[in-house]
Chains A and B, each alone.
Chain A
Amino acid sequence: MLLASMFVLNAGPGRADEPVTVSITIKDHRFEPAEVHAPAGKPIAVAVKNLGSIAAEFESDTLHVEKVIPPGREAIVHVRPLEPGRYNFFDDFHRATQGFLVVP
């Protein structure tokens, strides 16, 4: 019961901390932009659009996200508030495709 009451299901906007949105596209096995920025201490919504012709998997070990993005689709992954740093992300299906999220 206690556990259930601790679950706050987010049905839409209304969080105390509004997330910052960052947009990236994947085309020709490259992230565009390859380096994105976000402020520290705020939740981040990373919107990734796959402009390629095959599925990509947007993944990051340090951001703790992984999501398959079918060709032509856009996906959003939510990242928890971060400390300053340089966070690497990549296409798990094509490891050479790399980018960084910089938190000053």
Chain B
Amino acid sequence: MLPSLVIVFREVFEAGLIIGIVMAVTSGVAGRERWVAGGVITGVLGACVVAMFTDGLSQLFHGSGQELFNACILGSAVLMLGWHNVWMARHGRELAAEMRAAGEAVVEGSKSLAALAAVVTIAVLREGSEVVLFLYGVAAAEGGASVGMLVGGLIGLVLGAIVCVLTYFGLVTIPTRYLFGVTSTLIALLAAGMAAQAIAFLEQADILTTLDRTVWDTSWLLSDSSFLGRALHTLIGYVDQPTGMQLIAYAATLGVIAVLMKLFSASPPRPRAA
């Protein structure tokens, strides 16, 4: 029971953090629960499909199929997150609030919700496929799913859901005037972390070979495999031994998102005549 609990919790924990952030970022937007729930369900189904095709995928591209797939879906999530931030900057806080009040959020807001739902799908799919493969393997080895495995998995899932809920309630306590800035920063850091992660997969597959040496080592301070390290890894992309290319991808993602947000931000209201 314990191995199943630990593995399910570790994977769900990371997806839970991301779902919590997405829920907090979209708080007040009509119908967002349906979009996020849809993202989770699609992610679970996707995880089963990926697990089924793992053997074939692993053989593609001279054995680099898995890494390429991971890099591509992470890259897609980076684009979705960046797009969400630019969209929010474009429509402006005030405009978004007015739209929510008028109910037009259902139409305009749904574009941004679809992008975030896609991010949820990607997060659940990536972590979930490993869970599915693990549970399938344990069941195969034990001649069927044991009660211990199912109970362990369920507890792991519940613990992961608690992480999600804590993240959400932690974020929504932030006063509204700071919320936009905080959530935009969180989304940008999430995107930057995923970009660096995508680079790491390409390095593992030997597809990317420049600047692949460790630049600094902060594992003495915080190991990225510790509980806090993993949380920071998901939230802000913390890595204890980053390579040069990972750092470039991280900085470039933040830079591009910041520049695009500035370029597309709603112009300040014209001053009224005295």
Contact = CB atoms under 8 A, between A and B. Distances in A.
A61 B63 contact: no
B204 A78 contact: yes
B59 interface: yes
A76 interface: yes
Interface string B203-218: 1111111111110000
A95 interface: yes
A30 to B, nearest CB: 15
A6 B248 contact: yes
B58 A7 contact: no
A92 B133 CA distance: 11
Nearest to B249: A3
Contact of B63 (A8, A19, A76): A76
B58 A70 contact: yes
Contact of A9 (B203, B207, B223): B207
B140 A6 contact: no
Contact of A6 (B55, B58, B211): B211
Contacts of B225: 61
Contacts of A45: 206
B112 interface: no
A19 B205 CA distance: 13
A20 interface: no
Interface string A14-37: 010001000000000000000000
A38 interface: no
B209 A73 contact: no
B10 to A, nearest CB: 9
B204 A67 contact: yes
B55 A3 contact: no
Contacts of A15: 209
Contacts of A75: 58, 63, 66
Given A73-B55, A76-B63, A93-B133, A53 B204 contact: no
B208 A68 contact: no
Contact of B210 (A7, A55, A64, A66): A7
A96 B58 CA distance: 24
Contacts of A3: 248, 252
B162 interface: no
A54 interface: yes
Contacts of B219: 62
Given A53-B140, A73-B59, A81-B213, A10 B207 contact: yes
Contacts of A54: 136-138, 140-141
B200 interface: yes
A68 B210 contact: no
Nearest to B206: A78
Contacts of B141: 53-54
A7 B204 CA distance: 15
Interface string A46-72: 000000011101000110111111100
Given A8-B209, A10-B209, A57-B133, 4 more contacts: A8-B210, A15-B209, A68-B66, A93-B7
Chain A to chain B: the 9 pairs with minimum beta-carbon distance, closest first = A54-B137, A61-B225, A70-B55, A78-B206, A8-B210, A10-B209, A93-B134, A55-B133, A80-B212
Interface of A: 3, 6-10, 15, 19, 43, 45, 53-55, 57, 61-62, 64-70, 73-78, 80-81, 92-95
Interface of B: 3, 6-7, 54-55, 58-59, 63, 66-67, 130, 133-134, 136-138, 140-141, 200, 203-214, 219, 223-225, 239, 241, 243, 245, 248, 252
